[in-house]
Amino acid sequence: MDPTPVSENLIQAPGALLEAELDTLFSVSQILSRSLDLQDTLKEVLQVIGEGCGLRLGLVALLSDETGNELFISAAHGLDVEAAGHIRYSRGEGILGLVLERGRSVILDEVARERRFLDRLGAYAPDKPFIAVPIRIGSELVGVLASQPDTSDDGLLDERAHFQEMVANLIGQSVRLARQVAKEKRDLVDERDDLRRAVRGQYGFSSIVGRSEPMKRVFDQLRQVAKWNTTVLIRGETGTGKELIASAIHYNSPRSASPFVKLNCAALPENLLESELFGHEKGAFTGAVSQRKGRFEQADGGTLFLDEIGEVSAAFQAKLLRILQEGELERVGGSRTLKVDVRVIAATHRDLEMAVEEGKFREDLYYRLNVMPIYVPPLRDRIEDIPEIANFLVTKIAKLQGRELGITDSALRLLTQHMWPGNVRELENCLERAAVMCEGSHIDRDLVLLSGIEERLQPPRPRAASAAAPVSNVDLGDENMDERERVIAALEQAGWVQAKAARLLGMTPRQIAYRIQTLNITVRQI
């Protein structure tokens, strides 16, 4: 028998196989770089190596993220994928488990001869070879790539196994990238959820300080209106916290996962206000170098807060009315009508009723905005809330300054005597100035006076209102109180009747009069 033809076939077969493997490797690299969908990508890879190199009935089994000690079939080609998806292999179980246990490739010339072959899938030919190679990320084994050549042992099993190991190496890089992306996605989702919880905590109803009767009414309104998409008009003086109220409504509403967009209508001239709210097309005016979405489009699906709505001009009010009525707008310089779904919360310190009578504010726009009015009371109408608000603000300032900081009862009593025309904003500024000048850990009465607050600015209030203030019922025997604080506390508890205050302190009227004079205490006339 002439051996020459056999020798030539052996030489030609490896060359043809090498060429097919190179072409297939190129296709595999293209597939793996095309998508981050690992499961679909692996299926396509298995199909390519089956058709290009005859490595059919391929599967990729990856280690479970939950246990890290069990293989599950992640992708398969030419097999019952639905049935394969429920199969698991523990370490040392079956041929796949053997690869996991040994950490190296298993090459079989006839799969049925291996006693560990379980044939759970019932698809492999028992008289044909079988190749299973490890998939690694660096030195870490993360899975197994297995296939069955479509020919009997032709002397090229080692070459086929080497090719399959190269494919497994490429798959390992894709698995690493996919897991990294999945982890980053989970981290982003967790961060998003944490931020949402933090925002809800920051802008929840509990973040609005106040237990007075006027504020209880506001809280009742907020809880009701937050449930619906009703337009809200927040009324109140400057500095009362209207933006905080608007934030609380949005973040406690069904729209809380959507954008909350804010705009101060008084901060922009009318020509810029229109572009800011409605957006503009490229070339609509000088400087419009690109198309831009307005605040209404940005807030689509969410809430738009229009602060100082009473400041917009009559001409602009007509444009605003259309979008409130129809939910439609056109960008500046554009002709296409856009639909938006936006809940509007407006705020103003103006007397809109008077502005309507004077013709400065459109009556139809007023009724469109005034669906659910919420009035935020000024600070002077809820004096009993001042101690709680002050403590809240001091804690906030201390956090910003990175130190421990408190406020004394005498300072709180002084704060309750002020009229606060600037409301909570003025109170916060006062406390921040006092905190800057505070060298210790407590803001006291003298620091509040240094910050610009004067005594006796608030007129006498009925006893029923002042009795609700928690700072007036203090322990006169507290050793932390200095003499001046103790005398003032006694006078307040006694309604500024000196004889009664003297009895509370165990003094004579003459003694307390002397203390008032030497301690420079201004007596309030009730």
Which pLDDT value is given to residue 162? 92
From the list 244, 265, 258, the residue with the least C-alpha distance to 340 is 258
Indicate whether 152 pLDDT > 50.
yes
pLDDT in tens, 79-95: 876 666 678 888 888 89
What phi and psi values does residue 56 have, to the nearest 5 degrees?
A: -95, 175
Of 10-19, 129-138, 162-171, 272-281, which range is least confident?
10-19
Distance CA 342, CA 278 (A): 13
What does the alpha-carbon distance between residue 510 and residue 501 come to, in Å, rounded to a whole number? 12
Q: Minimum mean pLDDT among 177-191, 385-399, 442-456: which range?
A: 442-456
Domains 210-377 and 474-526 share a fold: no
Identify the CA nearest to 236 among candidates 356, 392, 351: 351
Alpha-carbon gap, residue 95 to 111, rounded angstroms? 9
Please tell me the predicted confidence (pLDDT) of residue 66. Answer: 61
pLDDT tens digits for range 48-70: 998 888 898 999 999 886 666 78
- Asked whether 379 and 424 are in contact (CB, 8 A), the reply is yes
Sign of CA dihedral 146, 148, 153, 159: negative
Least confident of 364-373, 404-413, 480-489: 480-489
What residue ranges do the domains of the chain occupy? 12-181, 210-377, 380-472, 474-526
Helix (H) or strand (E) holding 233: strand 232-235
User: What is the per-residue pLDDT for 483?
Assistant: 81
For 45, the enclosing helix (H) or strand (E) is helix 38-53
Q: How confident is the model at residue 203, as a pLDDT?
A: 62
H or E segment at 343? strand 343-348
pLDDT band at 6 (very low <50, low <70, confident <90, very high): very low
Burial (Cβ within 10 Å: 0-12, 13-18, ≥19) of residue 474: buried
Q: Which fold has domain 380-472?
A: Helicase, Ruva Protein; domain 3 (1.10.8)
Range 271-290 average pLDDT: 81
pLDDT at 7: 34
What pLDDT, on the 0 to 100 scale, is given for residue 205? 65
Cα–Cα distance, 409 to 474 (Å, whole number): 8
- Give me the DSSP letters along 203-233: HSGGGS---SHHHHHHHHHHHHHTTS---EE
- Please report, as a single letter, which amino acid is at residue 439: E
> Which of the residue ranges 264-273, 432-441, 488-497 has the most confident prediction, judged by mean pLDDT?
432-441
At residue 207, the pLDDT reads 67
Q: Kind and range of the H or E element at 307? A: strand 303-307
Residue with tokens 């609700």: 468
d(CA 134, CA 116): 17
Q: What is the mean pLDDT of residues 348-375?
A: 91
Report pLDDT for 282: 82
Q: Is 342 exposed, middle or buried (0-12, 13-18, 19+ CB in 10 A)?
A: buried
Topology of domain 474-526, CATH: Arc Repressor Mutant, subunit A (1.10.10)
Decide if pLDDT at 444 tops 80: yes
Specify the DSSP element, H or E, that contains 250.
helix 242-251
Strand 343-348 and strand 130-137: pairing?
A: unpaired
pLDDT band at residue 8 using 50, 70 and 90 as cut-offs: very low
What type of residue is 210? G
pLDDT at 405: 94
Query: What are the CA-CA distances from residue 409 to residues 46, 88, 443 (Å)?
Result: 76, 69, 10
Give me the chain's average pLDDT, please: 84
In this prediction, residue 288 has a pLDDT band, given cuts at 50, 70 and 90, of confident
Angle value at C-alpha 312, between 235 and 269, nearest 5 degrees: 130
Do 9 and 30 form a contact (C-beta atoms < 8 A)?
A: no
- Give the pLDDT band of residue 4 (cuts 50, 70, 90): very low
CA distance 148 to 487: 96
Please give the Cα distance from 19 to 39 (Å, whole number). 27
**Which residue, 379, 392, 416, is CA-closest to 492?**
416
Mean pLDDT across 184-191 = 85
When pLDDT is cut at 50, 70 and 90, the band that residue 250 belongs to is very high
- Give the model confidence (pLDDT) of 384-400 as tens digits: 999 999 999 999 999 99
Question: Which residues partner with 89 through β-bridges?
Answer: 71
Output the pLDDT for position 3: 39
pLDDT computed for residue 13 by the predictor: 57
CATH topology of domain 12-181: Beta-Lactamase (3.30.450)
Close Cβ partners of 518 (under 8 Å, ≥ 6 residues apart): none
Tokens at 210, concatenated: 């106040």
Residue with tokens 């109220």: 245
Fold topology of 210-377? Rossmann fold (3.40.50)
CA 108/CA 153 separation, integer angstroms:
9
Pick 509 or 234 by higher pLDDT: 234
| Mean pLDDT of all residues in 202-219 | 79
Confidence of residue 199 (pLDDT cuts 50, 70, 90): low
Banded pLDDT at 516 (limits 50, 70, 90): confident
Mean pLDDT, to the nearest integer, of 242-262? 91
Percent of the chain with pLDDT over 70: 88
